[in-house]
Structure 1
Amino acid sequence: MMRSAEDRMTWVCTPEPPAARLRLTDPPSHRAMLDGGWWPTSRDPVRELCSLVTALTARRSGVIERIMLHRAAWDRHPCRIGVAGTVVRVGWFTTLGPELAIITGRRELRIDLAVIAPDATFAAATAAMVAASRTANTVRAADLLRIPPGPRPRPPVGPGDDVTGGESEGGHPQHDPHPTAPVPA
């Protein structure tokens, strides 16, 4: 497979990434199938992976070196992302389900996260993240929520997006009323 120059370059996260909508098991359990749930806000891997790596690093999960994702679930496919002075390699696989992200790093670090589709409802995403973050959970990511691969609707225009011009089809842009992850109960 030929990769474009854009895919081969290292994408650097320059502005402060948005807070990741992430929920992890506490404490981590080696008996659990999943280590938590992640609900990206978009299908842009640079933006979303920068926020994920930042959040995992802040929780002292260890040094993250690699992330494995399903190729068809994302809009582009960079192989390297620079976050806070480190480079994280990204692997794109068709054999990995779109509902799973595998994060690896030093000292046998491995984090398996259920990936909830960005367009999931708040209620469905919250339920999936709670189920994925239960200590000693036995649920597989594929059983939480299905992420349909293939064509995706165009993301809504949000505040702060660098877009010129107005809506051409009328109506109002939709905004996520809950931009951050739910607080654990």
Structure 2
Amino acid sequence: MTPTLFSPPRPLSAASCAIPRVDSALRLSLRPVPNRRSVVDGAWWPCSRDAAAELPDLIAAVDRLLDRATLRIGVHRDTWQNIPRRIPARGRQVRIGWFRHADPRVITLSFAAGEPVVLLIIPPGTAAGAAKAVLKLTAQETAGMAVDDILTLASLPPDPAFSAGIAGSPARWENEGGSVIA
């Protein structure tokens, strides 16, 4: 089975994709079979930092691609704007949890059965070439690679908004224990 790249449906509002799409065909990469040795299971390139506008399309796409129902999403509180508590999706409400202790560069989707899916967030406004490189790289095997390694290998410059998500702390995230390290 090969990784799937898709083009999401039209955004919910005109403001949700204020940044022009250079190539709208590549917005999500997701390995069909997650590898628990990998830090991320794919990447997502949202159009904005507006969670209410961006998350419904992500939920629909992941549900369709994995044939599972997303029940909960975990995001970093300081990275996103307009974070709702719940988002309606296919006859259910997906709960949104926001945290300040999580890596601001990833989003986690949880399901009733199976392992959660962790996606690397490509910052909105990233140049198309760099975003495509990250999407392609995360669709391949990234076992043993930290988020910083993936971003460096794809030549994606650090995004100050995501790095600043952990106030007063360095932007390096410890791979296994889930805490910031110096």
State the TM-score, normalizing by the size of structure 1. Answer: 0.65
The residue correspondences of 1:133-152 to structure 2 (distance < 5 A) are: 133-143=139-149, 144=151, 145=156, 146-149=158-161
CA distance in 2 between counterparts of 1:132 and 1:61 reads 20
Structure-2 separation of matches of 1:138 and 1:107: 25
- Cα deviations by residue, 1:57-114 (Å, 9 ceiling, x for unpaired): 1113412111111111111221111122221111111111221111111113310100
Instruction: Name the residue aligned to 1:81.
Output: 87
1:148 deviation in Å? Answer: 2.2
Alignment of 1:10-159 (within 5 A): 18=11, 21-143=27-149, 144=151, 145=156, 146-149=158-161
Aligned residue identity for 1:147: D
Cα pair 1:26 1:135 within 8 Å, conserved: no
- The alpha-carbon distance between structure 1 residues 17 and 64, as it changes in their structure 2 partners (threshold 3 A), is farther
Is the alpha carbon distance of 1:43 and 1:110 closer, same or farther for their aligned partners in structure 2, counting shifts above 3 Å? same
Deviation at 1:131, TM superposition (A): 1.9
Secondary structure of 1:123's partner?
A: helix
> When the two structures are superposed, what TM-score results if normalisation uses the length of structure 2?
0.66
Partners of 1:23 and 1:99 lie apart in 2 by 15
Return 5+ residue gaps in structure 1 as ranges.
1-15, 151-185
User: SS state of the match for residue 52, structure 1?
Assistant: helix
Alignment correspondent of 1:156: none
Aligned to 1:4: none
Structure 1 distance, partners of 2:145, 2:135, is 11
Contact 2:43 2:134 in 1 (8 A): yes
Q: Secondary structure at the match of 1:103?
A: strand
Q: Percent identity?
A: 32
Q: Quick check: which has more Rg, 1 or 2?
A: 1
Measured on the aligned residues, the alpha-carbon RMSD in Å equals 2.2
Letter in 1 for 2:79: A
Inter-partner Cα distance in structure 1 for 2:145 and 2:10:
30
